[in-house]
Amino acid sequence: MNRDSFSIATSSKAEVVEMQTAESRPLFREPKVVIPVPTPQTKYQHVQPGVPDTLLAREATGLLHEFSTPLLFNHSHRVFFWANEMGRRSGQPYDQELLFICAAFHDLGLLEKFSSAEDRFEVDGANAVRQFLEHHGVPSARIQVAWDAISLHTTPGIVQYKPIEVELLYNGVGLDVLGIGYDEFPDDLRKKIVAQYPRVNFKQDIAKAFLGGFEHKTRSAEGTCNEDICSHFIRNYKRSNFYEQIQSSAFPNSE
């Protein structure tokens, strides 16, 4: 046996599996079920003032117009403008077009049209943006940034070690949903953005939108902040317990 293969013992025989280094494989693993991302009608493909006026941005806006809700349309745009200002103030170069596309797609997984049966809603949105960008021939490295940004947009403690667009989206979502950084954001710009994209009953309706996105697959929320939504809205909801899972493992302690 050479150094490029190794043996895995099974009940009947030893199988030889070829080894691969990570860089020799595709960057992505395909989802089990691919949910098609449609091309929005041309009449919906008009970007809002301040959004990069590109083909990708126009189509992403069109998806929000045609298939999303006013709640998520406004939320996604506010997230972009918060994140865009944070990027500008950071003094670091960032991909403004990709940042908008991430903001537009980050909650599409809450919608039935883009929702899978088992994956986290964040992953559904990330898989949708990957399909969208692949369709347009965007390089894989750029797609990976978008996938990471959307899949991690509710996960703390990681984004600061990812490309800046990933952190900017996370912080934009944190400001809009939780008010993190509210007092540090320029007051005049904050008021202007909210006036253009109002937060009508936002606190109550966004929580219901979250619930609608994973009420049919609550196991996908386990171990995430989304469990708190389940606990609030679903009567007798019981989350799994990590400590109990450790104790009930089939492995006995060694003597």
Residue 233 lies inside a defined structural domain of this protein: no
Residue 69 lies inside a defined structural domain of this protein: yes
Looking from the CA of 15 toward its CB, the CA atoms found within 13 Å total: 7
pTM for the model: 0.91
Count the neighbouring beta carbons within 10 Å of the beta carbon of residue 126.
Answer: 27
- pLDDT band, residue 32 (cuts 50/70/90): confident
Residue 248 lies inside a defined structural domain of this protein: no
- pLDDT band, residue 19 (cuts 50/70/90): confident
- For 165-208, the pLDDT digits (tens) are 999 999 999 999 999 999 999 999 999 999 999 999 999 999 99
What is the Cα 65 distance to its own chain's centre? 19
- pLDDT band, residue 14 (cuts 50/70/90): low
Q: How many domains does the chain have?
A: 1
Residue 198 lies inside a defined structural domain of this protein: yes
Burial class from Cβ neighbours inside 10 Å (0-12, 13-18, 19+) for residue 150 reads: buried
Burial class from Cβ neighbours inside 10 Å (0-12, 13-18, 19+) for residue 13 reads: exposed
Tokens for 176, please give them: 């809009």
Residue 220 lies inside a defined structural domain of this protein: no
Evaluate if residue 2 carries a pLDDT over 80: no
**Nearest-angstrom CA–CA distance, 212 and 229:** 10
Enter the DSSP assignment of 86: H
- pLDDT band, residue 16 (cuts 50/70/90): low
Average pLDDT, the chain: 93
Residue 237 lies inside a defined structural domain of this protein: no
9-23, 85-99, 182-196, range with the lowest pLDDT: 9-23
Q: What is the pLDDT of residue 28?
A: 85
Which residues constitute the domain of residue 125?
48-214
Residue pair 38/132 in contact by the 8 Å Cβ criterion: no
Q: What is the pLDDT of residue 214?
A: 97
Q: What is the CATH number of the domain that holds 78?
A: 1.10.3210.10
- For 111-155, the pLDDT digits (tens) are 999 999 999 999 999 999 999 999 999 999 999 999 999 999 999
Residue 11 lies inside a defined structural domain of this protein: no
29-33, 138-142, 209-213, range with the lowest pLDDT: 29-33
Residue 101 lies inside a defined structural domain of this protein: yes
